[in-house]
Amino acid sequence: MLRKFLFTAIVAMVATSAAARPTDLVEPKLHIAGPKGSGARVALTFDACMGKTDMRILKLLVEERIPATLFVTARWLRHNPGTFDILRAHPDLFEIENHGESHIPAVDHPVAIYGIQAAGSPQAVTREVAGGAAAIEVAVGAHPKWFRGATALYSPSSIAAIRGMGYRIAGFSVNGDGGAMLGARAAERRIAAARDGDVVIAHINQPTRAAGDGVVNGIRALKAKGVTFVRLADVVEQGSDGSAD
């Protein structure tokens, strides 16, 4: 009976997850290119959606001098001024890019993704992108070049519209922490397995979750292998689904 119950529960979870991700949307992939013989290079990217700051991750990046690209929302910026002072104090390490105004999926028709209501119209997508950019311009004094929407899922038409606004769309090739929902060991394994050219996505706004410890340990494992860490601004990228040049 227990085995049957567990099997039924797993099937239900898979079905729920599949239903939460509409099939008409795309999740762009992104890789970085580098000169041959330059050694393994990996781009670490972190989403700061809302809430607070995971100082476990930020402390590692600063102390170990590891560059990274951070995608921040206007909402997160408003609630983390102290953290942003740290980021601005290290412009050689941190590239600040656009994660939207309110962490709303950049999809131009009504749909719920993982329980989050999407922008729902072309006009709302534009507001989400432009609002995030405006907050970064005020905070940094520079216009962002990359955009990553909440859930990292898009309709093909919203990709075209965001590209038309002048942005590359930041996909990824390694989902490092499963939306900060993974356990520490699972997150560590995923990140430590990154290969040359990979773009890793993780989250830097969940300080109470176990995934953060795994992110830190995974980065340390990559560094021990001799991996070079790069920001998206410093490399040539290759994106799928028309998301990046």
Instruction: Note the pTM of the prediction, 2 decimals.
Output: 0.90
User: Given this model, what pLDDT does residue 64 score?
Assistant: 97
Domain 26-239 has CATH 3.20.20.370: yes
pLDDT at position 14: 41
- What's the confidence (pLDDT) of residue 36? 67
pLDDT tens by residue, the chain, 245 residues: 444 443 344 344 444 444 466 778 999 999 998 766 668 999 999 999 999 999 999 999 999 999 999 999 999 999 999 999 999 999 999 999 999 999 999 999 999 999 999 999 999 999 999 999 999 999 999 999 999 999 999 999 999 999 999 999 999 999 999 999 999 999 999 999 999 999 999 999 999 999 999 999 999 999 999 999 999 999 887 888 888 87
**Segments in 106-180 forming alpha helices (H):** 122-140, 156-164
CB of 182 within 8 A of CB of 17? no
Give the separation between CA 27 and CA 170, rounded to whole angstroms. Answer: 10
- Cβ neighbours of residue 44 under 8 Å, at least 6 residues apart? 61, 66, 67, 68, 69, 200, 202, 219, 229
- pLDDT value of residue 32: 94
Instruction: Specify the pLDDT at position 11.
Output: 40
Residue 5: its pLDDT value, please? 40
